[in-house]
A and B are shown apart, each in its own frame.
Chain A
């Protein structure tokens, strides 16, 4: 039993150590601003098309499923409210984070993993650069900035998708849909919807970096690290959600 748990505990310990050093480096020189902006571009702008697409279709699917249920009770006027709450509280942050984890935790792990197996990380250390400062902290900062922004975009596009169903199939007017959606949201929803992506960003970036930087075993090891990074980041997204949700339950 102990042998089974030990690697998990060690990995978690490494994660905490990496997180502590990455956060400490935010306040230490040298700062690699260029790398932060490059990562914002790669992660943020690069993920935008897929986030827009998935956000839009989530809104449509939610509109269809909720619309059908609401019509049964003659309450289709509430469609804007339900889509808004479901998207902003839960589906927007979680779906966006899962997409970004799939796209970028894997990208980060494979990039850093390749650097590790080709001794680029050792070279960096030997040349006097802290790899955590140069590679991890910029990715952490970039994700903490862009993931909440991507989530806001996904929420908005999802609401537009839902509105098309409301107007086209449920005969709800544009203004009725949007005013219902707007009135449904309270500050707690917005807080919940923005705290989550912020925490997801920390997990996605650090898990990707951790599995990348501990890669061993050549190109096969890079593949393994990439898969592990996506799986672990995705699991953590759901774990964090289930811990955050009860805080806002009341």
Chain B
């Protein structure tokens, strides 16, 4: 039996997806294991978001295979995907928070939904759900916003609520779609610190789509120290090689490698993302 600490969580085998005749994904292949991080760069419309959506079956590929936690989900029906999606947390580019619900209800939603699907198998009590929601919102430093609605908080806070909702069920894989887009540098750094903290405190696999090189650099080179409760530079090389970088262009994966390789690349498109 595969060691869960190193087992494969996500694999794309020659995946292609087209809208009309425009390729959103063009023969994309990669694999990632538990605890690893992938940082995805690319221009707008290069297929980054589509890659995340295809990974969890929100978009169906035209060809190729998507393997999620060892299961070929390429042709899964929507109802069959609900179970496996509970192992994946997603932060959407637009937030995707339900604006008719309070922040507490938004964060509680995945917990209650999974519980309903388990048909009462080890159900959480209302107090346990409330405690978990509060704990997760404290994790993203938003413990005082429980009864507010998403429209009543700032853009940066909405992203943090989105992160809380993505990780509240403690999924082994989290997909972050542009979590720092449009945010000021201070808030953007705070968000990346939260992602590092989440990744390292639970050894979560993460895919981070971003336009900012700095986001990827922080993810690759910094670690969360649970003793000090701070983000610190990673000392071991082992920690750094767990983060790999992708660059996408017109649906194609044009770069796949470490940060050192990314910085050394002579490709003019790839170099645009290295600052």
Interface residues of A (CB under 8 A from B): 30, 117-120, 122-130
Residue of A nearest to B117 (CB): A128
* B110: A residues at CB distance < 8 A: 127-128
Residue of B nearest to A117 (CB): B94
Which of B83, B86, B92, B116 interacts with A123 by CB under 8 Å? B92
* Bound Cα distance A127, B109 (Å): 8
* Bound Cα distance A35, B99 (Å): 15
What total of A-B pairs shows CB separation below 8 Å?
53
Q: Is the CB of B85 within 8 A of A126?
A: yes
Contact of B131 with A by CB under 8 A:
no
B230 to chain A, nearest CB (A): 31
* Bound Cα distance A122, B82 (Å): 12
* A30: B residues at CB distance < 8 A: 116
Contact of B31 with A by CB under 8 A:
no
* A127: B residues at CB distance < 8 A: 85, 109-110, 113, 165
* Bound Cα distance A87, B86 (Å): 53
Binary interface profile of B, 107-133, with partner A (CB < 8 Å = 1, else 0)?
001100110110000000000000000
- 12 A-B pairs in the complex with CB atoms less than 8 angstroms apart: A118-B95, A118-B96, A120-B96, A122-B53, A122-B96, A123-B90, A123-B92, A123-B96, A125-B78, A126-B90, A127-B165, A130-B78
Residue of A nearest to B88 (CB): A126
* A124: B residues at CB distance < 8 A: 98
* Bound Cα distance A98, B128 (Å): 48
* Bound Cα distance A126, B94 (Å): 14
Residue of A nearest to B98 (CB): A120
The list of the 6 closest CB pairs from A to B, nearest first, reads A123-B96, A119-B96, A128-B82, A119-B92, A119-B94, A118-B94
* Bound Cα distance A59, B99 (Å): 41
Binary interface profile of B, 76-110, with partner A (CB < 8 Å = 1, else 0)?
00110011011010101111111100000000011
* Bound Cα distance A189, B58 (Å): 48
Known: A30-B116, A122-B53. A128 touches B86 (CB 8 A): yes
Q: Is the CB of B113 within 8 A of A123?
A: no
Q: Is the CB of B117 within 8 A of A125?
A: no
Contact of B56 with A by CB under 8 A:
yes
* Bound Cα distance A124, B117 (Å): 14
A226 to chain B, nearest CB (A): 17
* B99: A residues at CB distance < 8 A: 118, 120
Q: Is the CB of A122 within 8 A of B113?
A: no
Residue of B nearest to A21 (CB): B78
